[in-house]
Structure 1
Amino acid sequence: MQIIVDVPNNYLDVLHRAPEDFAQEAKLAMAAKLFEMKRLSSGMAASLIGMDRVTFLAQLHRFGVPMIDLTEDELAQDIENA
């Protein structure tokens, strides 16, 4: 499947971005949001945009998305199981 989004040229001018840079950032933002919503795993999100998992996880901070989003109980359970 392919998603096509029309972006007016003046948006790129305002953002001071080349079309390729804007497209990559938009894909990363989409993947980060899908990961944040727990719709995709980090590996699946990274694969979706052609990025390795470690690089994807390292970029999440740019979008305010935590790498690990566990409740206190989930974290305690993980520690107990370690």
Structure 2
Amino acid sequence: MPIYDYFCPSNNQTIEVMHSYSREIKTWGELCQLAQCETGETPEDAPVRRVISAPMLSVPTSNSDYKNAGFTKLVKRDKGVYENVTASD
């Protein structure tokens, strides 16, 4: 299921929740119920809106990161020979 961020202008809070694509969250009460948190002093009928956020990307930085992610990294050596630098010793 995708993760969405919702912003409530009444209290200036942003909450991240996971739900199906077809579900619509329109009020603070619905959002808090889905996120399993307290509504606090904000009215339950306060409107919320979905905000666009950049997805988090994980970029491998070492050979072991590539291996742990299930990839193979080949490095070109002498005379066009490629060496697998993620292979186990």
Q: TM-score, normalised by structure 2?
A: 0.22
The structure carrying a bigger helix percent of its residues is 1
With a CA cutoff of 8 Å and minimum separation of 6, indicate the structure with the bigger relative contact order. Answer: 2
Q: TM-score, normalised by structure 1?
A: 0.23
The structure carrying a bigger strand percent of its residues is 2
Larger Rg, first or second structure (1 or 2): 2
